[in-house]
Amino acid sequence: MSDRDPGVILATDVGSTTTKAVLVERRDGRHRLVTQAVAPTTVESPLEDVMIGVRTALTRLERVTGRRLLDADGELARPACPEAGVDLFVTTSSAGGGLQMAVAGVVRSMTAESAERAALGAGAVVADVISIDDARLIVERIRRLRELRPDIVLLSGGTDEGSISHVAAVAEYVAAARPTPRFGGAGKVPVIFAGNRRAREYVRDVLGELCDVHEVANIRPTLEQENLDPARTAIHRIFLEHVMAHAPGYPELLRWAGQVVEPTPHAVGRMVKLLAAARGAGVVAVDVGGATTDVFSVVQGQFFRTVSANLGMSYSMANVLVQAGAAAVLRWLPYTLDERDLRNWNANKMIRPTTLPQTLRELLLEHAVAREALRLSFGHHCSLARGLKGVQQRRTMADVFSQTPSGECLITPAGVELVVGCGGVLSHAPRRSQAFLILLDALQPGGIVQFCLDRAFLMPHLGILASVHPSIASQVFWDDCVLPLGTAVAPLCRPREGQYLAQVRLRLQDGRLLCDEQVVGGRLRRIALAAGEEAWVEVTPVRGVDVGEGPGRRVFRKVRGGEVGLVLDGRGRPLDLPPDRAKARLLLHEWFRALDAYPPAALAQEEG
Amino acid sequence: MATRRQLRIAENVVLSRPRKLALPGEVLVSRYQEVNPETVVARTEMVPGDPWVVDIFSDMNLRLTPQQARRAIVRRVGERVETHDVLAEHRLPGLLGERRTVRSPVAGVIEFISYVYGRVLIREDARRAQPQVVVDLARQLDVWPMTIGMYLQCREGDEVRQGAVLAAAPSGIGLQYAYAPVSGVIERVDLRTGSVVITRQARPAEVESYLKGRVQELVADYGAVVSTRADHVLGVFGLGFENYGTLRVPVDSPAAELTADALTPEHAGCVLVAGAYAGLRALRRAAGLGVRGVIVGGADHLDLEHLAGKEIGVGISGQEDLALTVVMTEGFGRMEMNRDLFDLLRASEGAVVSLNGTTQVRAGVVRPEIVIHRGLPEPGDPPTPLPRALGPVVELAPGTCVRLLRGPYLGLWGRVVSAGNLAELETEVRVPVAEVELADGRRVMVPEANLEVY
């Protein structure tokens, strides 16, 4: 850490409902989180000035820390001195629904999907995807584009030497819709054209007068190649120059932040990428919100992000039931419940989302819904985190019987080594093992996987800080933001009940043997390994069982402890609960007890 | 600790509602006229103007480059065209080059032109929309009229939506399709000319007053603003759109259930108060008898889905095509109705009630409403500002009447004994709790977040 690093850092995240401010200070050579404060966001009427909420949050921070952050004129006090001011201010924003984009391409599963990936990766909310092979009528597509009022339109289509007619037609749809921006009154909507370069002139011709056209390199220059970065960079630039500059109060926020305000999900994505780079492994981060669930991943060096709208733990809770089905939720309950009661409970939570579970029964119900919301969102994420479609594959006669389609999912159960969870249902789970088990059951990673919790949802703040000081962001993340839950050893196989799957030996750094245990089919086993402790685990699977390195291959790896410790998961992948509900309930009780996930006395009552 | 006041009763207020047609029509009321909920305020018999897509290349039987198309299409976006006006014209090369022309099938405004695909989108003028549309399939598919029967994908009497395939015939490479330019019913297939006639669904639209009150303002060609003096109640979830009827209370307490057996043919046209619960059998029988609305403490989510014939997932309702409107005042499941509300409804038996089940749980919260008409407002009476859908935040004080929102006390009523203490729940979380004395005398500890103030 150099002396040139900022000593006092203030970071804010302007969310749709709340504005959160955090203060980071260098103490004894290390940057630590001092405290955080929250205030309602004031971007909507009647206040319509985001700075009111930001200043309120800062005033609350001042009250808690005693450090004066605002001067007499309400300006940010800079630079820092012992009792006042800050050296660096960074901010993210998702207020007003975040960055809303419409995406258009020629073929839904090819260029339009690439464009969708670029927009999602840039932290946008993709309001709709329009393509030539869209099942909707032309009129409907145009009407939809008109209704959306997107902040930015991303237009893609065609490979660089391909035909221009289809991409030109998509440009004509956009022109016909004459989209108007959400902010900025009579201004033109920015359109980023990231398609066939030969079509640029025509696109300029069609859209030039109606929209603010920005040309960037083709998102799909060839069928075999996807080039998302130029489009993503353009999205950020335009977000700052066109969208943020017109939002109420943002010009002042931009001035405070040195003209950089990032979309919140983009900052989170940077943090996930940073983690993946530091670990050199696949990382998945999930944020289970009230209305939506965000999933971020870095696998095989590629970054993906998806937002599952209408899958969440409050307003969208009833929709989880609709999409997953009542049986899927009920299977996670260690007691019997009528479908009718489940639906009523679920719908009541939907209309009164701020209520809390008072009994263990209701807590278990919320956790059952969370598992399904996460499972569905992760499934949605996997459907987008895949290789390119339309890529020509050269096959020989030997491949005739083992042909795989292009566009296979890149996330494999053994390809993820770190899972980070956040969102109320995980962060506020009364016991950490509950959050651990929800993540393990819903995502079902295999091999050796570490689980962490972003307990205060600081990833946006640290993500934007990482853009200027990655080492500080990484340090604060591990010291103050993340809560290590533990590590799971989960063989990839479909075991029989009681089947011996692998031998696990855990040695501390000093060579002391901590445990020598078996992974047994259908069972969970928890071994204490405290947070901050590291140990070497040696997993020797039996023939045919894979713990990440291939069937039967031994794995030797350093693992990190946490509040839960090391968990040996012999339940197999995919994790199937027995169709016999009584048997499934007994198994759930056994698993919950193995992880000490719920209060034993109350859990025993449910069993009785 | 503060919590939110939920169910809102605003007594003796002046309510105002704009009552307007989506399309222009005839306004049938006059200013300051007294109206009943069923009074028709405005009516139109206009066919809704459809957007028409004219495929220039197909009609010309030519494939032009975008540059050629730009020259051939003689109209521009925003221009108004009449039926049979020339849209595009192209002369084939050669001394005696044939001139091919495409004319507008309707009167309207050009909204979009694709020079790449050679398509012109015309927004039809609703005032001049023709009730019948003739589609020349033989010409579009370039087949003999008499053979058109071989290629038809529809029959006389079929209902078709705009964009549906009417016929398909082999062309050079694959099939060529002819699409329905408008939604409607296939009136006739003419094998002599190779055409079909689509009769468009003329939807005579009417807008009723909904409120029993007075017309305060006229909106030329579209409708009026009607206001009433009434008690206004917000529920928590509803099903079905606007409805009205005479209020009847066939149950004797807010904790009672409305059973199918309690319903009689005399309840037809009425709005019934159902107490704590109404099951699917009762709701279906009510709908069958012609009951207009049911106001109930709670109903099962599954029953409401069965009644609506659709899944209720994201907390948006009101668009269901139901003759019966359901307004729940407390929540899902068996939920004793708020006694003050029940007493108000019972005291209002015989009054005319309007109700609307439209609900939106988030993003500009909308709650279902019940309007109990009390009398006529004076001409020009301004509307009373109504409370917002989300009630104000209020302090929990000893003696406050509360409803308990989560298990194990879901749906029960009580009074706060003390509040603001921290306590650990069975779930092991430590939160602010209130001690509440239930109606049966039990004293229980409840998280303050699980209380609603009435």
B283 and B331, same domain (yes or no): yes
Helix and strand numbers (H, E) in chain A are: 18, 22
Task: Tell me if chain B has a CB within 8 Å of the CB of A362.
Answer: yes
Nearest to A307 by CA among A320, A294, A298, A297: A294
Predicted local confidence at residue B37, as pLDDT: 94
Amino acid at A253: L
Same structural domain, B69 and B180: yes
A315 in reach of chain B (CB within 8 A) = yes
By the CB < 8 Å criterion, does B422 face chain A?
no
Considering only the beta carbons, identify the residue of B53, B301, B431 that sits closest to A356. B431
B432 reaches A (C-beta below 8 A): no
B27 within a domain of the structure (yes/no): no
Strands B293-299 and B270-273: parallel
pLDDT per position as a tens digit, A110-136: 888 889 888 888 878 788 898 888 877
Cβ–Cβ of A355/B405 closer than 8 Å?
Answer: yes
Quickly tell me which residue has 């004793």 as its tokens.
Answer: B336
pLDDT tens figures, B37-64: 999 999 887 666 677 888 888 888 788 8
Q: Does the residue B384 lie in any domain? A: no
Task: Give the mutation candidate from A344, A363, A366, A598 for the B interface (greatest B CB count, under 10 A).
Answer: A344
- Which pLDDT score is estimated for A295? 92
- The domain that holds B247 is classified in CATH as 3.50.30
Partners of B445 in the β-ladder? B435
Confidence at residue B47, expressed as pLDDT on a 0 to 100 scale: 65
Inside any domain, residue B13: no
What are the tens digits of pLDDT across the range A314-353? 878 888 998 899 999 999 999 999 999 999 999 998 888 8
Quote the CA–CA distance of B359 and B340 in Å, as a whole number.
23
Three-state SS letters, B371-411: EEEEECCCCCCCCCCCCCCCCCEEECCCCCEEEECCCCCCC
Per DSSP, the three-state class of B303 is helix
B185 with B277, same domain? no
Which pLDDT score, from 0 to 100, does residue A389 have?
64
With contacts defined as CB-CB under 8 Å, which chain B residues touch A355?
Answer: 405-406, 447, 449-450
Alpha-carbon gap, residue A356 to A365, rounded angstroms = 12
Calpha distance A528→A349 (Å, rounded): 36
Domains of chain A listed by start with CATH number: 8-95 (3.30.420.40), 98-251 (3.40.50.280), 285-389+405-607 (no CATH)
Which residue among A316, A358, A430 places its CB closest to the CB of B446? Answer: A358
CB contacts of B361 in chain A (<8 Å) are 315, 350-351
Q: Are residues B250 and B305 located together in one domain of the fold?
A: yes
pLDDT, one tens digit per residue, over A160-190 is 888 888 888 889 888 888 887 776 556 788 9
Cβ contact B116–A361 (<8 Å): no
SS3 label, residue A449: strand
> Tens of pLDDT along A83-119?
899 999 999 887 666 678 899 998 888 888 889 888 8
In a domain, residue B138? The reply is yes
pLDDT at A352: 83
Among B6, B50, B70, B116, most A C-beta atoms within 10 A, so best to mutate, is: B116
Single residue among B199, B224, B244 that ends a domain in this structure: B199
Longest dimension (CA), chain B: 103
CATH number of the domain that residue B413 is part of: 2.30.30.30
Beta carbons of B187 and B199 less than 8 angstroms apart: yes
Q: How far apart are CA A439 and CA A435, in angstroms?
A: 6
Cβ-defined contact of B315 to A291 (cutoff 8 Å):
no
Please tell me which of the candidates A138, A315, A431 has its beta carbon nearest to residue B121: A138
**pLDDT higher than 60, residue A405:** no
CA distance A197 to A182: 29
Q: How many structural domains are present in chain B?
A: 3
- Structural domain including B427 reads 396-453
C-alpha to C-alpha distance for A420 and A478, rounded to whole angstroms: 12
Contact A356 B450 (CB under 8 A): yes
Instruction: Report the share of chain A in percent with pLDDT over 70.
Output: 93
Question: How high is the mean pLDDT of chain A?
Answer: 87
Helices within B61-154 (DSSP H only): 66-72, 137-141, 148-151
Closest to A340 (Cβ–Cβ): which among B121, B302, B447? B302
Residue B373 C-alpha, separation from nearest chain A C-alpha, in angstroms: 28
Token pair for A515: 């445990």
Whether residue B357 is found in the same domain as residue B435: no
Domain-terminating residue out of B199, B222, B249: B199
- B360 lies in the same domain as B400: no
Tell me the CATH number at B175.
Answer: 2.40.50.100
Is the Cβ–Cβ distance between A292 and A110 less than 8 Å?
A: no
Q: Which helix (H) or strand (E) holds A587?
A: helix A581-594
The number of angstroms, rounded, from the C-alpha of B405 to the middle of its chain's C-alpha atoms is 29
CA of residue A67 relative to chain centroid, distance = 33
Phi-psi region for residue A542, left (φ > 0), alpha (ψ -120 to 50) or beta? beta
pLDDT of residue A225: 83
Distance from CA of B212 to the nearest CA of A (A): 30
Q: Can you give the pLDDT at residue A4?
A: 67
Of B367, B386, B406, which marks where a domain is finished?
Answer: B367
For position A132, what pLDDT does the model report? 85
DSSP, collapsed to helix, strand or coil, labels residue A146 as helix
Q: What parts of chain B have a pLDDT lower than 50?
A: 1-5, 7, 389-390
The radius of gyration of chain B's CA atoms, rounded to the nearest angstrom, is 30
Does a structural domain hold residue B335? yes
The pLDDT, as a whole number, for residue A23 is 94
Same domain? B107 vs B157: yes
Of the pLDDT bands very low, low, confident and very high (cuts 50, 70, 90), residue A69 is: very high
Residues 52-91 (B) with a CB less than 8 A from some CB of A: 53, 66, 77
Separation in Å, CA of B362 to nearest CA in chain A:
7
Decide if B288 is inside a domain. yes
Its ipTM equals: 0.77
- Asked if B300 lies within 8 A of A343 by C-beta distance, the reply is yes
Please list every residue in chain B whose beta carbon sits closer than 8 Å to the beta carbon of residue A343. Answer: 300-302, 332
Pick B425's closest partner by Cβ from A202, A339, A358. Answer: A358
Cβ atoms within 10 Å, residue A577: 15
Whether residue B263 sits in one domain with residue B309: yes
Query: How many CA atoms within 13 Å lie on the side-chain side of A501?
Result: 27
> Is the same domain home to B190 and B55?
yes
CB contact under 8 A, B361 and A315: yes
Residues of B in contact with A602 (CB under 8 A): 426
Do B183 and B245 fall within a single domain? no
Asked if the model's pLDDT at residue A460 lies above 50, the reply is yes
- pLDDT > 90: what percent of chain A? 43
Q: Is the pLDDT of residue A608 over 60?
A: no
Beta pairing class for A534-541 and A500-508: antiparallel
Q: Using one digit for the tens of pLDDT, what is the confidence trace for A555-589?
A: 999 998 999 999 999 999 999 899 899 999 999 99
Tokens, residue A512: 């002391």
Lowest mean pLDDT among A198-207, A236-245, B286-295, B364-373: A236-245
Distance from CA of A201 to the nearest CA of B (A): 13
Please write the tens of the pLDDT for every residue from A358-393: 999 999 999 999 999 999 999 988 888 877 665 555
Residue window 176-235, chain B: list those with CB within 8 Å of chain A.
none
Q: Is A363 on the interface with B (CB under 8 A)?
A: yes
pLDDT at A342: 95
| Residue in B112, B119, B429 nearest the CB of A430 | B429
- Same domain for B408 and B361: no
Decide if B218 is inside a domain. no
B144 falls within a domain: yes
Residues B124 and B261 in one domain: no
For residue B389, the model assigns a pLDDT of 45
Task: Write down the pLDDT at residue B439.
Answer: 85
Interface check A172 vs B, CB under 8 A: yes
